Amino acid sequence: MEETLLHRVKDTRQHLRQQQVETILNEFDHICMQLSHAERKIKYGKMLESPFRFYRGSAYLFYYDMTKSPSIFHSDEAHPTWIMGDMHMDNFGAFQNENGDIVYDVNDFDEGYVGSYLYDLIRMTVSMGLYMDEQLIEETTQRRVMSQFLTSYIKQLKRFEQQKDDAFTFMLTKENTSGPIHKLLRKLEKRKRTHFLEDVTEVKDGDRVFKWSEEIEHISAEEFSSIVSVLPQYRIRDIAVKHGSGTASIGLKRYYILVEGKDAAGEEDLVLEMKEVRTAIPAYFLPYHEKFWQYFEHQGARVVGTQRAMHHLEDPHLQYVTMEGVEYYIRERSPYKKKVKPKHYKSIEDYESTAKCMGQIAAKIHARADMDYTDVFTYQSEKEILAQINRSPALFVEQAISQSLHYKQQVYQDFAIFKEWVSEHF
């Protein structure tokens, strides 16, 4: 056989995947997100930090692949789940709810949409594998941790179905957690309520204003006036543009707004975050849901609706606005925002206890999200999900883990393609 033909046999799959990755990156970051070359360069620079960071910033690639992968455990299309849409290890964290309780929950709702619950779970377990790879944890242990997450999810769904727990009031605090999450919540109790305020602001000539830095910068007088006009209910002290947050959201406008008013704990000054939002990535790949879009044509309304549906007590400042044709949502920037980091894991048991809590949270948000919008959801999500899983719970767990570990290897291959492509074009 000719050398050229052998080369084609060897490299055709790789070449085709390179074309796919390049096409998808251009379609979503350039055409859909309308990121400039400079903005893409910043985003891709962050994604180059690690395969996990690449995975976080390329959810469109995940959904492109996963929606072509059938499973007997997928939701019935007639009874989808309200999914978080971007469930991964770094989208869980602590914050303070409206009652002043410090809780642990999911904290990113930008990709909220309706579809099979399985996409949330697989996106999460793939992220677990990538996350633990960075900590040099072997695959047999990764399987144990993924299994803990999935079995905890199933057990908690059953508790909701059997009415042993109420998804509407269920929350994780220091009282019902263990391991790194428990330690984090206890530590945050000692944090001053003004912690974040003091970190990003200072008092000058008797007025509290933002501290300027590479991440927190001045805005134009026109932007300042526009924001004031869409938030007439607040007495605004100062406004800054915020850079450097997130991965997938790079290129979207984000502002910090210093206002007089009471936060969840009753403090006078607080910081609101106003963030530009676009169409949820899963929506491009999952079945169109007419009734959902009747409620959430405004993308800010969709994000706000997702957070309200999934959180027990909502942020009283949660809202959405349109400014100069661009859609935003607004929420309070919690002084207790904190996540479990790699340094907090001291043993495999720490990973397992954290995975257990995350499984409970995943079950809670899926079971709870059908309660507030009965015109969209006329059924109980936990019953619909369990009807699929109960076909064979053991097979469900094994198949999800195998699929996740297989896709994790695809992420590494795509990351290698991505590095070469960015080097050539950016």
Assess contact for 24 and 240: CB atoms under 8 A: no
Please state whether beta strands 235-242 and 113-115 pair in parallel, antiparallel, or not at all (unpaired).
unpaired
Domain presence at residue 226? yes
Amino acid symbol at 136:
L
Beta-bridge mates of residue 115: 81
Beta-bridge mates of residue 251: none
Return the closest-CA partner of residue 362 out of 219, 200, 152.
Answer: 152
Helix (H, G, I), strand (E, B) or coil at 102: strand
DSSP 208-275: EEEPP-SSEE---HHHHHHHHHH-TTSEEEEEEEE-S--STTTTS-EEEEEEES--TT--SEEEEEEE
Q: Is the pTM of this model over 0.85?
A: yes
Assess contact for 292 and 309: CB atoms under 8 A: no
Domain presence at residue 308? yes
Domain presence at residue 291? yes
Beta-bridge mates of residue 201: 210
Average pLDDT, 10 consecutive residues per value, the chain (426 residues): 69 92 95 91 95 97 96 94 97 88 94 97 98 97 98 98 95 96 94 88 91 92 96 95 80 93 64 96 96 94 95 85 97 91 96 98 95 79 97 98 98 97 95
- State the Cα–Cα distance between residues 94 and 187, nearest whole angstrom: 11
Q: What is the pLDDT of residue 258?
A: 96
Domain presence at residue 425? no
Angle subtended at Cα 416 by Cα 410 and Cα 419, rounded to the nearest 5 degrees: 135
Who's near 20: CB < 8 A, 6+ residues apart?
64
The count of other CB atoms within 10 Å of the CB of residue 393 is 16
Domain presence at residue 305? yes
Domain presence at residue 159? no
Who's near 185: CB < 8 A, 6+ residues apart?
94, 102, 103, 104, 173, 174, 177
Give the C-alpha distances (Å, rounded to integers) separating 264 from 104, 238, 301, 314. Answer: 16, 20, 22, 10
Return the closest-CA partner of residue 186 out of 336, 314, 332.
Answer: 336
Q: What is the pLDDT of residue 244?
A: 76
- Rounded to the nearest 5°, which phi and psi values hold at 269? -95, 145
Q: What is the pLDDT of residue 251?
A: 79
Domain presence at residue 58? no
Q: What is the pLDDT of residue 262?
A: 60
- State the Cα–Cα distance between residues 52 and 317, nearest whole angstrom: 32
Helix (H, G, I), strand (E, B) or coil at 324: coil
Torsion sign, CA atoms 53, 102, 234, 325: positive
Task: Give me the long-range contacts of 185-188 (CB less than 8 A, separation at least 24).
Answer: 185/94, 185/102, 185/103, 185/104, 188/94, 188/102, 188/336, 188/338
Beta-bridge mates of residue 81: 115
Number of folded domains that form the chain: 1
**Ramachandran assignment for 136, one of left (phi > 0), alpha (psi -120 to 50 degrees), beta (any other):** left
Domain span including residue 302 = 195-332
- State the Cα–Cα distance between residues 357 and 152, nearest whole angstrom: 8
Give the C-alpha distances (Å, rounded to integers) separating 292 from 40, 74, 87, 168. Answer: 31, 19, 20, 21
Domain presence at residue 100? no
